[in-house]
Structure formats: C-alpha cells, structure tokens
Structure 1
Amino acid sequence: MWSISSLLILLFMGATAESARILFLFAFPAKSHVGAFTPYIEELTKRGHEVTVVSAFPRKQPLANYTEIIVPDTLHAKEKGFNVFEMGDTYFLPMIFFFFLMGSESCERLLQDPNMQKLIHSKEMKFDLVIYEPFFTECTYGLIHKFNAPSIQILPNTLMPLMGNPVGNPNTASYITDIMMEQEMQGFTGRLMNSFRLGTVYLFRKFVVVPKMDALIKKYYPDPTIPSVEDIESKVAFLFLHSHPILHLPKPLTPNTIELAGLHITDTTKKLPQDLQKFFDEAPDGVIYFSLGSNIRSVDMPEKMRNAILNTFANLKQKVLWKWEDDTLPGQPPNVKLSKWVPQHDVLAHPNLKLFITHGGLMSLQESIYFGVPLIAIPVFADQRLNTLRAQKAGYAISLHLNNITEETLNWAIQEMLTEPSYRENVKEASRIFRDQPQKPIERAIFWTEYAIRHKGAPHLRSTALKLNLFEYYLVDVIIFFIVSVLVFITISLMCMRKIFTCMCSKSKTSNVSSSKKKK
C-alpha cells in the first residue's frame, strides 16, 4: 500500500520533472503587448515553470518562479517627444518606415543595455523554450540560437502582413485584408491595393528590415556563427495569435498557429477600489468609461479635441470615468473623475457601466465584447481603424474619425448608443459567441507551450510550404510551364495547319494544271 506521503512525493516529482525554464522576449516597448500575455506568464509560473522576462515594464507585485530583466522603454522615452496623435493620418509607407525606424532604434538601445549584454554573454543561463514577439525587433533572434531551444512567436493581434510566414500561413491578398488598411477590402481596387501593400511589406522586410537586424546581431552578439534572421525564424514551433473569427474574418491557419483571443481576460472580477466603487454606486444614470489604452496618452491629444470631449461630457447626466495620465485636467467638469490607472476588467464588468469610449485597441475591444459593453471608438493609428469598422459593421460600435471629434459628433454617438438598444443586444450576442469555446484560451496556450517543450519544437507540425521559394509557393513556375505549353501547342498546331493548308493548296493547283492540260 502506498502511503499518502509517498503519493505526495511522487506527485511533486512528476510536477517538477515537467517544469521548464522559459525565456520571454518583449523587445518592442509597448505595455499593452506585455499585458496581453501577462496572465499566460503567471499561469506558467503557477505550473512550476521558471519564467524569465525581458521587458521595459517591471511588475508591481512579486511572483514566484519569476525573474525580470528590465530594459529601456524607448517608445515612451521623454527625449523622443513621441505623440501618437500626430500619426493619425500617416499614410501606409511612412507608417511602415516609422515602425522600422522605431524597431531598429529600440533594438540598438536594447542590445547596448548592460542587462541585455549580461544575458547575451551569460554562460550559466540555459532555457528550454524561448517565446518572443517578432515586431520589427528581430535582433533578439540571436538568443534563440544561443540557447539552442525551441521557440514560439507571440502576436498581440491577428496576422499582420508576412508575420505568419515563419509557420507557412498563407498571405493571399485576394481575400485576407492587411490589418493596417483603413477599410475592408472591396472589389478590384481593394485587391489591387491589398496586393500592393503586401508586396511592399515583403520587399521592405526582405531588403531593409532583415539586413538591418542581421547587422545588429553581428555587431552585438559574440558568436559569429549565428544564422540569418530568416533561417532562425523558419524553425519556430508555434505562432500564438490574439485573434478570433468574430473580430477578424476567418482565414486558413496551419496546425501550429493557435488563436488565443481573450487570453488576458479572466472570469474572476474583483470589487472596485473604494473611491471607484462609490463613484459607480452613486451614479443613478450610469457611468461612461473613457480610456485610450496604455500606449496612447490622453494628455497628448490636441487641445481642440480635448475641449470638444470636455464640453460634451459636461452636458451629460451620466458620470464619466476618464483614464488620464496627469494629476489635473483643465476645465474638468464635476461629473468627470480622473484616474491614472483603472482596473479595466472590473470596470467593464460593473452593471452600472453604460458605455465604453475607446481607441479601438484589440485588447480593449476583446474585453468590451467579453463583458458585453457597447463602445464608441476613436481609432488613432495602425490596426485600430479596421478593428473598429468591423465592430461597427457588426452593430455594437460607432467609429468616429480622429479629425471629426466635435461636440456634435460625439454627443450624437453617445446619445445614439445610450438610447438604441440594438447596440447592447448585438454586443451581448457577440459575447456569447466569443465565450463559446471548447476550452479557455489560457488552457490552450499552456497545453501547446508544454507540447512544444515535450516534442522539442514539434517539427512534425511545420508546413511543407516552408520548403518552397516564392516562385514555387505561388506556382509561378507551373503557370509559366502551362502558358509556354499552351503557346507551343498553339504554335505547332498553327504550323501544322499552315503546312496542311499549303499542301492542300499545292495539290489543288497541281490538279487544276493537270485538268487544264487534258482539256487542251
């Protein structure tokens, strides 16, 4: 008979035997990108895995089995004067170039950082898995080679152009819309523009981004044998996406592409802090919540826009909770409460919340759908416009253009949202669909993470498309073969017909001559 203590020892040994050392690389300095995967990281530590995170954003609370390597926050560096509102109407090519410059500069500062250099040159540290974000920060790929470990790519979004290439996902411009487009693709013009953008990004990445990242790796890593960025990422085990068909149109995905929309959302909501709880409970007409996320600062918005919002809020009977990054707000109405930090999950779950005014970031959009809160969106840049237009088309959002925020437009949108019940009904239906999954996203993420460790990167799940070059993948050689074959067939056929026709004409002439001679 086994004793209880023996069973406990065996269970403990079984748990620790499967524990792994996991390295997370958040090289792109965006707090929302880290937040999108924080519950996932916390769950891994609860399972006994030792997690090391490279990030610009330190945790506020300690966590067991967790180590931080803090690196510079180059996105919000004060000396850069970065104001995302100035990018609102930036065109496609300048925006791509901006992201490249920001990514390459982030990489340079990241690799120069003493903490990062210590990791790069460490001889004692070893990892069983490297999880990283491939967002113009491919300079971290040298660590994947250094630790010779399986890797997982994570994206806090659906597939961006070419981001699915390392696992063989299709980039079919005829029906898969670039998420940076300002509207859904329609007709020939839409397909033409989508194809142009996809081709431009492909060429820009191949001939500008990748060579730059390869150069940075050679400059800052001591190992001269590190392969190219493209070679390293072609061996990635899985791609984790924060996507769902209700948010992003369905598309074919390879078996090692895992959709995890809602990964950062938990069912467990807590009571609000005392001041917020009082604010919500004592709002007979409800509360409107206004937040532009963690990467867009409300304090940076143009004064004209801010005044239009303030004047609109001042005339509402509802209370307004505004995530505001400063201590004071000039002209703050009495019904508006400011907060530098808001427990967003708990606020969205509160029954007295009537409406969410947001920038349309994917994490906020998912949370709004999950908790069944209709929203007004003021998209600023990147994927936010397409996100919110799709939400508007689904009937649970109103999207306002950044340059059209006036008292009239904002007040109309708020009154329309509060008085028309279809918005809330539609978001409740979207919530039911979003929640109806065979397993929770966090459970799915943990399973496939441990699967990658158990099966040494799961090479059996890699698409055979990865073995094809561009001409082979798009069947250019086959199409050329068929075109040439048809042309050769037509040419030979025409030559034969001409030969036959010539022979027939020749015989006809001979016959006519003979006949003519006989008559004579």
Structure 2
Amino acid sequence: MATLFWKMNVLIFLTTCLPATDGANILAVFPMPAKSHMAVHSALMTELAHRGHQVTVFSPFPEKSPIPNFTDIEFKVSYPELLQNSGTSDMLNIKKFWFFQQMQFYWDLGIRLCELFTQDEAFQKIINSKEQQFHIIITSAFFQDCVFGIAYMLDIPVIQMCSFGGTKWMDEWVGNPSPYAHVPNVFTDFGERMNFWQRVINTLSEIYTKLGRLFYVIPQHDAIIRKNLNSTNIPSISVLEKTTALLFINQHFSISYPRPLMPNTVEIGGIHITPPRKLSPDLQKFLDESPDGVIYFSMGSNLRSSNMKNATKEAFLQAFSKLKQRVLWKWEADSLPGQPSNVKLGKWLPQSDILAHPNVRLFITHGGLLSTQEAIDRGVPIVGIPIYGDQRYNLARVVSFGIGVQLDYENITTESVMWALNEVLNNQSYRKNVQRISRIYRDQPLSPLQQAVYWTEYVIRNKGAPHLRSAALDLAWYQYFLLDIIAVLVLVAVCVPVAVYYISRTIIKKVFDTTPRITESVLKKNE
C-alpha cells in the first residue's frame, strides 16, 4: 500500500509540477474589467507560462511584473465605459433590479463588451497576425459568446473558464444534464431541494433565459463577430458554442450541490486561493493585538462600500462602535466621517491572507463566489449582504450549510447588523460548521490549479479532445427529451387497445350472432 501511495504521488508530481515537454502557443481572451474574475483566470495563465507554454493574454489587467513566456496585451476598458446605456452607473443599484432586468443588464453588458474588444486595434493585430499560430484559445465564460467566432476563424479549440459556478446555457455547450427539478438557476436564491413554486419559478426563469439568448443575445453576437472580423462565413454562435472542448467551472461539490457533469466539465473551485502570505507590519500588528478578535468587512472588487447609502453606512458605524471586537473595513474613500476607534480602513486589503489570520472571527461580505470560497477555505463564518448576480445563490448555500447568516441590503439597520454579528460571533456552531466544510473541501487528490493545468494540457495533447464530447449535443431537443419515443409509445398505447377492441368486437359478432339468416334457397322456395 505504501509503495502504491508513493507511486501515485510521483505520478501527480510528474504530470502537474514539472514543466511541459512540448510548449503550446496559448491565446487567452479575458476582456471583462472585473478583478475578481481575473483572479481565477490569471492563476491558470501564469502557471501555464511557468510550465513552458507561450501564453498571450488579452485583458484589462496586465501583470505588474514580467513573467517568462507571458505576453500581456492590455485592453483599455473601464466599468463606467462598459456601463454606458445599461441603466446604472453604480453596481450597488443592481440590487433593485428584478430577475428579468438583471438578465437584460448582463446580456447588454456582454454585447457591449464584445463590440468593444473585437474592434480593439491590439486585439485585431493578434488575431490577424500571420507570424503567430495559436494552438488553443482560453476565454472567460461571462456573456462574451462572440469568442466562439474567433476560435472558429483561428481554427483552434476553445476552453471556457467560468469564474462562478456555471449556468444552464453553459451546460448546453458541453451536454451536462441540468434538470430544472433540482439544479437551480444561479441568479436565484434556491437550493437543490426546491418546493413546487420554486420549481415553477426556476423553470420559467430558465425558459426565459434560453429564449432570450436564442432570439436576442446570439443574433447580436453573430452580427458583431461577422462585422468586426470581416467575414460572413462564420456560423452562428448557437452552432459554434457546442464545439467547446472543455469547460472549467469555479465550484466544487463539497461547497456547492452534487450534480451530473460530463467529462469535459472540470470543477476548479478555489483555483485562485494560494497559501497565506506575510501581511504588512501595520496589518499584522492590528490583527495580532486584537484579543477579542477581528471582523473583516469587504464588499468585493466591483462594489464600493463608500458608495453605500448614508443610512446604511450609519447603521454599520453605530453597530461597530458597540463591539469589543476590532473591525477591518475595505473602504475606498480617503476618510470615513464618524469612524469608531475600533475600526481600521484600507482602500485595498489582501483578503485571503487576512482571513487566514487566527484572530479573524467573522467575514462581512457581498457573497461573491471567490470571497465565499476564501472564507470556507480559511474556516471563517459569514454575514452576507447579496447585491446582484450569483450572490444570493451563494449566500443561500452559506445559510443552508449553517456557516453564516444573511442581511437584506435595502433593509439594513443598526439592530439588524447587531443581531447578525452577535448571532454568528456568539453561536459557535457557525465556526464549527465552516471548519468542518473546510476540511471536506480541502480533501482533494489534486489542487484546483493542478486539475486545471492537467486538463488544459490534456486538451492540447489530444487536439481538442473531441472524444470527450457528448453525443447529446447532436440530438434535437425532442430527441433529447425522448418526446418522439413518448409520442410513439402513446400512439401504440392508444391504437393497440382500440384495434384489439374493434377486432374482438367483429369476431364476437361473427361467432355469437344468433340472428336468423335468410338464404337464397329459402327465398326461391317462398317465391
């Protein structure tokens, strides 16, 4: 047994840690100006470069220092530019959007993003280069479906990386079974065990999303890619999306819900999490000298705490001033009027490293997936304040797992904040639960990064790995749901009894018919 264990460890080391023998030329397209999304993507890209692959990354976030085998092409775009004509200039306002408005917001965001980056001069130079031949394209699966057209034009396989837990339409790219009965829409707050009305809403939301993509989103992406790539021969995205070689989803069944996945769908939940790094002296001192513990408060990279409503800010300030614990708050402005003496501010804070400190007792978060994963990995319970996207979904799991509580941003008061903080700080079940789930999550044969590296190189080695593709992708919708079979069976079930009935009736009448018959001879005799 010991020998087998040793051999397995050597194999894992050889396949995931040593540099690749045949370096590939990889194009990565991550145009979304969201640092949290880029944290997922850059973890894989830098590791692939370290393994000897030539990596070209087109994104709004170039690396701060040069990396061997790594070429940055900066995409100069900002959120304000991207949010033009979206109906809001502040992401906090999306909280007020209902489901259909949120989907419209994301669809328009993706359309705007594709329009901008496919027109970009630097990007045009990359894809039209005669000197550079790419072997594969890796892109962010976040409403930028036009990348499928780029992969088609370059004639290379495409790997999609989803920085959150995946969606139904991504499942359709690779053929993942995704029953509405127990796989909830990630833009809802439903769990895997839905009641009747939740299943109704889940079904209707998925039908709306499917029809919206088919008749609104995809036609516009088709038009953009054909115009900006100057080609009318590119097939529709609705066809190209089913050529996806591999789908990475930033989730893991231990911190999500068990569900069926095809072999070309790989869970890499927590890929961005690294071992804790040394904190700056002032942060280390602040955390070390907090005998009653520290509450860490951050609304993520896309939301700004400093943009909160005055009443919401005041509620937090009043609540924090009553605590014996210290508070470390990611605050993007230069000052905070009324700042209590136990509160320390920072415009940018190393979140994952802070959460790893043993004195951190609680994490107040917007419920972004990366933040939720970091809290679970570090074993820190949560008070969640969802705003948009998958945050309600993520925090619904937090509550169902018993590792935190949730507040409604629109109804935050000093009393509700005090209740949430006291509930999680004083009830040790939250910390015990999150530490238990953390142990389960960490119990994996390979790290998420090793998984991602292995499967990326697997697709490269096997020329797109078409053998992983499910035959379900080639079935018509009525074939996939067996409606043609059901129709035939219903027809047989109806026709056979009817036929038997009429045949039996005819036979019985012939056999048991006692009506006197007048023969021809009798008729002649009577004449």
**2:179 pairs with 1:172:** yes
Aligned to 1:189: 197
The 2-side partners of 1:377 and 1:46 are apart by 37
- Is the contact between residue 358 and residue 375 of structure 1 (CA under 8 Å) also seen in structure 2? yes
**2:128 pairs with 1:132:** no
- Is the contact between residue 127 and residue 154 of structure 2 (CA under 8 Å) also seen in structure 1? no
Aligned to 1:54: 58
1:501 Cα shift? 6.1
Change (3 A) 1:174 1:510: farther
1:326 Cα shift? 1.5
**2:77 pairs with 1:77:** no
1:161 Cα shift? 1.9
Change (3 A) 1:505 1:195: farther
The 2-side partners of 1:94 and 1:491 are apart by 52
The 1-side partners of 2:504 and 2:195 are apart by 42
1:377 Cα shift? 0.6
**2:320 pairs with 1:326:** no
Aligned to 1:228: 236
Aligned to 1:402: 409
- Is the contact between residue 72 and residue 109 of structure 1 (CA under 8 Å) also seen in structure 2? no
- Is the contact between residue 62 and residue 74 of structure 2 (CA under 8 Å) also seen in structure 1? yes
What amino acid maps onto 2:251 in structure 1? S
What runs of 5+ residues in structure 2 fail to find an aligned partner? 1-17, 519-527
- Is the contact between residue 374 and residue 417 of structure 1 (CA under 8 Å) also seen in structure 2? yes
Aligned to 1:217: 225
1:239 Cα shift? 0.7
Change (3 A) 1:79 1:432: closer
The 1-side partners of 2:100 and 2:256 are apart by 23
1:79 Cα shift? 7.5
Aligned to 2:309: 302
1:141 Cα shift? 2.4
Aligned to 1:476: 483
What runs of 5+ residues in structure 1 fail to find an aligned partner? 1-13, 512-520
Residues 437-491 of structure 1: CA deviation (Å, up to 9, x unaligned):
0111111111111111100011111111111111111111111111112121233
**2:275 pairs with 1:271:** no
Q: Is 422-431 or 203-212 further displaced after alignment?
A: 203-212
The 2-side partners of 1:15 and 1:286 are apart by 43
Aligned to 2:248: 240
Residues 215-274 of structure 1: CA deviation (Å, up to 9, x unaligned):
00111003333222133222221111111112221111001111011111112x222112
The 2-side partners of 1:411 and 1:360 are apart by 19
Aligned to 1:366: 373
- Is the contact between residue 182 and residue 194 of structure 2 (CA under 8 Å) also seen in structure 1? no
Aligned to 2:211: 203
Any idea what SS the aligned residue of 2:161 has?
A: strand
- Is the contact between residue 30 and residue 295 of structure 1 (CA under 8 Å) also seen in structure 2? yes
Q: Is 284-293 or 295-304 further displaced after alignment?
A: 295-304
Aligned to 1:435: 442
Q: Give the TM-score normalised by the residue count of structure 2.
A: 0.90
What amino acid maps onto 2:38 in structure 1? V
Change (3 A) 1:82 1:494: farther
Q: Which of 448, 456, 464 is the matching residue for 2:463?
A: 456
**2:502 pairs with 1:495:** yes
The 2-side partners of 1:66 and 1:139 are apart by 24
Any idea what SS the aligned residue of 2:27 has?
A: strand
Residues 24-48 of structure 1: CA deviation (Å, up to 9, x unaligned):
1113332211112222222111111
What amino acid maps onto 2:54 in structure 1? E
Any idea what SS the aligned residue of 1:327 has?
A: coil
- Is the contact between residue 153 and residue 236 of structure 1 (CA under 8 Å) also seen in structure 2? yes
Residues 84-108 of structure 1: CA deviation (Å, up to 9, x unaligned):
2212142221111111111111111
Q: Is 44-53 or 325-334 further displaced after alignment?
A: 325-334
- Is the contact between residue 59 and residue 73 of structure 2 (CA under 8 Å) also seen in structure 1? yes
The 2-side partners of 1:94 and 1:497 are apart by 61
Aligned to 1:90: 97
The 2-side partners of 1:303 and 1:503 are apart by 92
- Is the contact between residue 52 and residue 69 of structure 1 (CA under 8 Å) also seen in structure 2? yes
Residues 172-218 of structure 1: CA deviation (Å, up to 9, x unaligned):
11111111112325232222222111211111111111111110011
Q: Is 313-322 or 137-146 further displaced after alignment?
A: 137-146
Aligned to 2:6: none
Q: Which of 514, 519, 522 is the matching residue for 1:507?
A: 514
The 1-side partners of 2:82 and 2:146 are apart by 24
Change (3 A) 1:509 1:289: farther
Any idea what SS the aligned residue of 2:76 has?
A: coil
1:125 Cα shift? 2.3
1:503 Cα shift? 5.0
Residues 312-332 of structure 1: CA deviation (Å, up to 9, x unaligned):
112211111111112122222
1:166 Cα shift? 1.4
The 1-side partners of 2:49 and 2:516 are apart by 96
The 2-side partners of 1:144 and 1:78 are apart by 24
The 2-side partners of 1:195 and 1:16 are apart by 45
Aligned to 2:31: 27
What amino acid maps onto 2:206 in structure 1? L
The 2-side partners of 1:16 and 1:413 are apart by 49
Change (3 A) 1:133 1:451: same
- Is the contact between residue 296 and residue 327 of structure 2 (CA under 8 Å) also seen in structure 1? yes
Counterparts in 2 of 1:329-408, with a 5 A limit?
329-408=336-415
What amino acid maps onto 1:38 in structure 2? S
The 1-side partners of 2:514 and 2:251 are apart by 74
Change (3 A) 1:481 1:120: same
The 1-side partners of 2:43 and 2:359 are apart by 26
The 1-side partners of 2:515 and 2:324 are apart by 100
Any idea what SS the aligned residue of 1:45 has?
A: helix
Count of residues paired in the alignment: 497
Residues 331-389 of structure 1: CA deviation (Å, up to 9, x unaligned):
22221111111111210111111111011111111110111111111111111112111
The 2-side partners of 1:477 and 1:79 are apart by 45
Any idea what SS the aligned residue of 2:149 has?
A: helix
Q: Is 371-380 or 147-156 further displaced after alignment?
A: 147-156
Change (3 A) 1:148 1:496: same
Any idea what SS the aligned residue of 1:254 has?
A: coil
The 2-side partners of 1:259 and 1:410 are apart by 35
What amino acid maps onto 1:343 in structure 2? P
Change (3 A) 1:148 1:406: same
The 2-side partners of 1:265 and 1:509 are apart by 95
- Is the contact between residue 74 and residue 106 of structure 1 (CA under 8 Å) also seen in structure 2? no
The 1-side partners of 2:248 and 2:60 are apart by 21
1:74 Cα shift? 4.4
The 2-side partners of 1:287 and 1:152 are apart by 40
1:398 Cα shift? 0.7
- Is the contact between residue 243 and residue 259 of structure 1 (CA under 8 Å) also seen in structure 2? yes
Q: Which of 144, 165, 168 is the matching residue for 1:158?
A: 165
The 2-side partners of 1:235 and 1:323 are apart by 42
Q: Is 115-124 or 477-486 further displaced after alignment?
A: 115-124
Cα RMSD over matched residues?
2.0
